[in-house]
Chain A
């Protein structure tokens, strides 16, 4: 459904993406892993048009244009949550819904989504700056899924969460894919998340997809980079100082 072909992106002399090729099939969950600073977040932003690739194409449903139509059935959790700090929590979650629903309906849906990410109704009327980092992350997640989008990107959904809450979020993302048939791309460093969420895994390294395959192949990839990454070894083909 989402296809990257030969995507390049540089910021000045920093060549972040150097030919990314990747295919994400409809209704599946792709997890992208890779070292910090390898361009995982930039890859997602290229799909949204927030960053324009220097070269290469990204197609959604076989089309490369019409970003508005694509965005109308899309949701995204940003790495830094990116909540609107001038709006209370529930209006953040219901931002898109407030256009199509009455205020009361939108609020009810927002409270339901907040509950699904493990937040009590009391937080609904607080402002984002009143919340802890992990709570902000979960509000961002609730906002991403609020309008039941078909395509969802999660940028590090479990960083900053305690292990139990991380488990809740992993299960939620899995459920969204399995039960609602959404197509998702998740970025994570957390191997438990990878194993819970992924149908397919892709590893980004040195600006390219180093390895990609189904989750059950991850432990037998035969790729030294992947092995080093999933076992968290300090030595191997990936240098520690990058």
Chain B
């Protein structure tokens, strides 16, 4: 009988483990959000994180958007040529960038860059007892470490997405006008005419959600890190993987909520 029950037991344990982890993350998130609203506020730490998470992510997000916009223009041109609809390139590049690729690829790049560094930093602080030391100095780690990071990421990410959108559209424009014989003025007119406010806004909202996810996963895995160098490594890996998967899952749910007919 064990050949029947042991896979079932393993499956059950997996589901229970997943549920328990979800519960722990949800409690952590709720506690973090409640701390955002109550003093003391650490303005300096917040500004530092804004620079770390927002400003210093610009090159990565910008380059990602530039190449993606360019490749998108080539692909849509090739696809459009099959039914003589090459003129859709500017509008589809713009819509694809601002609705999907800007927020998702930007989010994934920030997850790789920021979730990893937050998790490694906080886990190292935990392993070297710096978090314990904070407590003995009457400072709540949740307020001093987690809140500034979550706030900074949630506020900076929409800006990053907006910049990425613009750069991505510019990538499409550069490829369209230099390689695909589009008239520069017509390309721009086509881009702006078909782009609606909600196309852009929905992408920015996605960005805010992804920023929250990135910082939350970095902080959660850092704070719950195991002991030693191995614990720090495991926390970093878990932060990047979980942030990336959650971004993709959240992206689907948000797209469904925003655009499902």
Residues of chain A whose beta carbon lies under 8 Å from any beta carbon of chain B: 45, 48-50, 68, 71-72, 74-76, 78, 80, 82-86, 95-96, 143
Contact = CB atoms under 8 A, between A and B. Distances in A.
Given A80-B129, A84-B130, A48 B135 contact: yes
Interface string B117-134: 000010001001110111
27 contacts: A45-B132, A48-B132, A48-B136, A49-B135, A50-B132, A50-B135, A71-B136, A71-B137, A72-B138, A74-B136, A76-B136, A78-B132, A78-B133, A82-B129, A82-B130, A82-B132, A83-B130, A83-B133, A84-B130, A84-B133, A84-B134, A85-B130, A86-B121, A95-B139, A96-B137, A96-B138, A143-B137
A74 B139 CA distance: 12
A71 B129 CA distance: 16
Given A49-B135, A50-B132, A85-B130, 9 more contacts: A48-B136, A71-B135, A71-B137, A76-B133, A76-B136, A80-B129, A83-B130, A84-B125, A86-B121
A94 B43 CA distance: 18
A75 B128 contact: no
Most buried by B among A72, A82, A83, A84: A82
B129 A68 contact: no
A94 to B, nearest CB: 11
B132 A95 contact: no
B67 to A, nearest CB: 34
Nearest to B44: A98
Contacts of A78: 129, 132-133
Contacts, number: 42
A49 B140 CA distance: 13
A75 B136 contact: yes
B35 to A, nearest CB: 15
A96 to B, nearest CB: 5
Interface in B134-162: 134-139
A48 B137 CA distance: 11
A50 B131 CA distance: 10
Interface of B: 121, 125, 128-130, 132-139
Contacts of A71: 135-138
Nearest to B139: A95
B53 to A, nearest CB: 15
Contacts of B138: 68, 71-72, 96
Contacts of A68: 138
Nearest to A45: B132
A95 B129 contact: no
A80 B132 CA distance: 11
A72 B136 CA distance: 8
B44 to A, nearest CB: 10
Contacts of A72: 138
A151 B207 CA distance: 47
Contacts of A84: 125, 130, 133-134
B60 to A, nearest CB: 22
Contacts of A76: 133, 136
Most buried by A among B121, B129, B132, B139: B129
Contact of B137 (A50, A80, A85, A95): A95
A92 to B, nearest CB: 9
B33 to A, nearest CB: 21
Contacts of A74: 136
Contacts of A50: 132, 135-136
A96 B144 CA distance: 13
A144 to B, nearest CB: 8
Contacts of B129: 78, 80, 82
Nearest to B140: A68
A84 B125 CA distance: 8
Nearest to B124: A85
Contacts of B130: 82-85
Closest 9 CB pairs of A and B: A82-B129, A82-B133, A76-B136, A71-B138, A50-B132, A96-B137, A78-B129, A95-B137, A82-B130
A223 B220 CA distance: 48
Contacts of B137: 71, 95-96, 143
A47 to B, nearest CB: 10
A214 to B, nearest CB: 28
